A and B are shown apart, each in its own frame.
Chain A
């Protein structure tokens, strides 16, 4: 006997067709008048109303397309340390560092190819300045393929929430 196989003991008298059919029909008829669970997607978004199955919200751990955080002056927090292209398993981050007159490093070019990205979230984990983040965001449709290479300006102008990568109430993932 394979492990986990549950053998149901069916009572002999319930091997019935007429009663089972009627029971099934009553069930399907009842369902016709129950609350519909369909979420009308483009109109109703993830944080929408109650659908009879509890409120559906996107997880704060969701790892979607990236966002670069900026400081008070609107410059990106990135110091072009090169850790994120180093750790990226998909090799999708292109970083060319530059140096300003005060000797601070900043990214001359910072591009993420979202098609190559595997959304592992390592870039966010490794970032010492908490600059690059994966976002809680899933609507990414575009009309052309090259729009999926996000440059620094685009990454900085994103406004969606950023991922927490782990559940704050359950930090060990238990």
Chain B
């Protein structure tokens, strides 16, 4: 092994440890944040007994879950029952590996460490655990593996509620995976690359993609909610219908693992929204952050953190605002609204980009972005006008009226 390779490996291990630690601790704190936000939205105070302002509540919860009894339902498939939490937990943690969280950090070292030999690193270290060239394809691929954990948990529990939850989860995640993947194609068309670093670089030059590709962002956000099984799409859990859905039979730390998986999925979706549509670690209206340096790295990482936190708050905000969808409404939204919308939007963006780049010959990314922004305003107006008029998804009042009208028309025999 060359000293350069060893230096690279050393940095990678350090980055992995740092990212996993931050994610695991952050996920624990997110459970507290969720409870606090929900409490505030309901004029309550939330947990405030354990530690200052309740900050040690996650530690208390964790300790409780470790000490609790592990229960196994009779006739459960032991092996899969044990494996399922791990299967949903590991992909959730893996996902964050490809997300860049700061400007490249200049790292220079050259030292010898006893029998391990010499370690060398010169130049910029990208602030991402693995800067994969396949970028968001990796995220789409790994995130869909999480459904195995949920489906297996539902099946192996030998419980009707868990089975129904698992089935719902697999159907829901497969459906929304389609819309999610399709909504990312306009991003690919804009940036010309699936690599997340390249996408961020492209957004630094032009506009954040949320402006030119607003509809993509909207579809991705909704599909993201569905993928992470958060309200208003928490059909797999659905407390009022399925007790606790796929994790009905789980207890103690195995149950916690599902929660950690859910929250780290939330973190990843929020980080993806930030990266793909809100410029990643980019600080807007300045090119200072692209130069690279220690200060820049810290500032951009803080900015990235703030953006992700905003989206996490948004996810919680939605959760404590909207009621759960009915299952057929969920499927209708996925297949009848989001997927055709994403497909049509791909066509529109294709044509628009062709016109802008080839016909009008605009190459400056800012003008291109502005032109597409104008288009997305029109498209958003049309889509929300249609969605809002209740033609695609009917409200209960309107549906009842149609049924009554049909009943009146039908001849009584």
Contacts and interface: CB of A to CB of B under 8 A. Distances in A.
B41 A12 contact: no
Contacts of B40: 31-32, 36
Interface in B313-353: 317-318, 320-322
Contacts of B322: 21, 24
A29 B317 contact: yes
A17 B391 CA distance: 11
A101 B395 CA distance: 85
Nearest to B43: A37
B388 A19 contact: yes
A71 interface: no
B405 interface: no
A10 to B, nearest CB: 4
A28 B321 CA distance: 6
Nearest to A31: B41
A1 interface: no
A38 interface: yes
A38 B317 contact: no
Of B37, B384, B393, B397, most buried by chain A (CB within 10 Å of CB) is B397
A15 B42 CA distance: 25
Nearest to A32: B40
Given A10-B395, A15-B398, A28 B320 contact: yes
B387 A37 contact: no
A15 B387 contact: no
Contacts of B397: 10, 12, 15
Nearest to B42: A31
A20 B394 CA distance: 14
Contact of B387 (A17, A32, A52): A17
Contacts of B42: 31
B147 to A, nearest CB: 27
Contact of A15 (B41, B45, B317, B390): B390
A25 to B, nearest CB: 5
B240 to A, nearest CB: 19
Interface string B360-392: 000000000000000000000000100111100
Contact of B41 (A10, A16, A19, A28): A28
Number of contact residues on A: which range applies? 20 to 34
A34 interface: yes
Contact of B388 (A12, A17, A52): A17
Interface in A19-69: 19, 21, 24-25, 27-29, 31-32, 34-38, 40, 52
Contacts of A25: 317-318, 321
B44 interface: yes
Contacts of A21: 321-322
A18 B387 CA distance: 7
A38 B43 CA distance: 8
B267 to A, nearest CB: 21
Nearest to A52: B43
Nearest to B398: A15
A126 B277 CA distance: 77
A15 B396 CA distance: 8
Contacts of A24: 321-322
Interface in B282-337: 317-318, 320-322
Interface in B36-70: 37, 40-45
Contacts of A10: 395, 397
24 contacts: A10-B395, A12-B398, A15-B390, A15-B394, A15-B395, A15-B397, A16-B388, A16-B390, A17-B388, A17-B390, A18-B387, A18-B388, A25-B318, A25-B321, A27-B321, A31-B41, A31-B42, A35-B43, A36-B40, A36-B44, A36-B45, A37-B44, A38-B44, A52-B43
Given A37-B44, A52-B43, 4 more contacts: A15-B398, A27-B321, A29-B317, A31-B42
